[in-house]
Amino acid sequence: MFLEIRNIELFFDDKQVLAIDEILIKKGELVTLLGPSGCGKSTLLRCITGLEKPKTGSVFLDSEPIQFKPTKERNIGFVFQNYALFPTMTVFENVAFGLKIKKLSKEEINQRVFKLLDLVSMTEHAEKNVQQLSGGQKQRVALARSLVTEPKVLLLDEPLSALDARIRKQLQKDIRKIQQELQMTMIFVTHDQEEAMRISDRIFVLDQGIVVQDSTPDKLYQKPKSSFVAEFIGNYNKLDWKELEPYTTDDFIPKGNEFIYYLRPELILFREDSDTLAIPVTLKEQISLGPIKRYIFQTASDSEIMVDRLNNGSIPQTNFLYINKKDILKIPIKNV
């Protein structure tokens, strides 16, 4: 593996903040660390760079151990959430900074800087002072600055969280495009699961300093291993055995609190199918979410079930919701 992170333990005062077993990343992969605020993802990133020093742990980059190297020798790029551009310098000077340290010739610096400014579409702003730029522009410059030194891996710490929605979407696309073009190994940190799903090759979900699951976006959504992941990654319906058991004829839903059941709103049907469960319901309300229409039904036991459909027609009148047994996600209680 290109980047191997093992056994990282970090304590703040007496509290254990990181307890990472293993994170292995291939060369050229874009991996996201996803989790709620305070789960340790930014801290882990800083451990990789050396800005934070864990109590134990090893980091191997391209088969080289780097955990004892000082930050400036690790050749790792980093993009901060608040851009951290050098305030008194122009765009050009900011991007050229790393190359000046390496004492490259003026021509070479010029060439490389402009190549990168072109990549992030900031060539025409080269002579502007960075204070005059918008948030999105600043982040592009920050990206260029960290890529110009051709680092082995690029880390991005919630780089888009401070930007508004439209700029975010554009930059998500651009970052992914640049990553694929340069074949750069990247670790992206975010708390926004939609963002993670959109750009990642693989997602590592973190909770309180521990990796609870790592999969591709699709697999993470279809097969969450724990309640935490299920409730974090998607808009599942959560039901317990009492709400499903009465409608089964076999042992599919065992009596007793052994499992929690998750139903994906887009997989719930209005007609019977090959192997379905039928739940009696009444329609409570409809919410329009743009391309999706969300129908909220109420069950006999007063729970709510959401059903999502494409917003291109109305649904048939129905007193029952049908769900294929294979689409019911069972998560053991002890995995909560």
Partner 1 sequence: MKKHLIMLPFGIIFLAFSVIPLLLMILDSFQSDVTNEWTIANYTTILNNPYYNKAFINSFLIATVSSLLGLTGAFILCLCLLNLSKRTQEKITFVSNLAANFAGVPLAFSFIILLGNVGVLKMLFPLLEGFNLYSWLGLAVTYVYFQIPLGLLFIYPSIKEVKKEWIDSVALLGGSKGYAWRKVAFPFLRPSIMSTFVILFANGMGTYETAYALTGSNINLLTIRIGSLVSGDVFAKPNLGSALALLFGLILILAMILTQWVGRKVRG
Shortest distance in whole angstroms from residue 29 CB to partner 1: 21
Euclidean distance between CA atoms 14 and 292, whole angstroms: 47
Structure tokens at 266: 């887009």
Please report, as ranges, the residues that interact with partner 1 according to CB under 8 A: 49, 51, 70-78, 80, 82, 84, 86-88, 97-98, 101-102, 145-146, 149
Structure tokens at 302: 């007063």
Whose Cβ is closer to partner 1: residue 41's or residue 145's? 145
Shortest distance in whole angstroms from residue 151 CB to partner 1: 8
Whose Cβ is closer to partner 1: residue 77's or residue 265's? 77
Alpha-helical (H) ranges within the chain are: 41-49, 91-101, 106-119, 135-147, 165-182, 193-199, 217-222, 227-233, 241-244
Q: What string of DSSP letters covers 56-71?
A: EEEEEETTEE-TTS-G
Shortest distance in whole angstroms from residue 236 CB to partner 1: 37
Q: Are 258 and 241 in contact (CB under 8 A)?
A: yes
Whose Cβ is closer to partner 1: residue 98's or residue 265's? 98
Shortest distance in whole angstroms from residue 156 CB to partner 1: 12
Whose Cβ is closer to partner 1: residue 110's or residue 149's? 149
Shortest distance in whole angstroms from residue 86 CB to partner 1: 5
Whose Cβ is closer to partner 1: residue 103's or residue 255's? 103
- How many C-beta atoms surround the C-beta of residue 146 within 10 A? 20
Which of 153, 136, 41, 139 minimizes the C-alpha distance to 84? 139
Whose Cβ is closer to partner 1: residue 2's or residue 97's? 97
Shortest distance in whole angstroms from residue 44 CB to partner 1: 16
b/e per residue, 186-217, with b = 16+ CB within 10 A? bbbbbbebebbbebbbbbbbbbbbebbbbbeb
3-class DSSP assignment, residue 178: helix
Shortest distance in whole angstroms from residue 192 CB to partner 1: 21
Whose Cβ is closer to partner 1: residue 50's or residue 57's? 50
Whose Cβ is closer to partner 1: residue 70's or residue 313's? 70
Distance of CA 20 to the CA centre of its chain: 17
Shortest distance in whole angstroms from residue 299 CB to partner 1: 51
Euclidean distance between CA atoms 312 and 288, whole angstroms: 11
b/e per residue, 49-61, with b = 16+ CB within 10 A? bbebebeebebbb
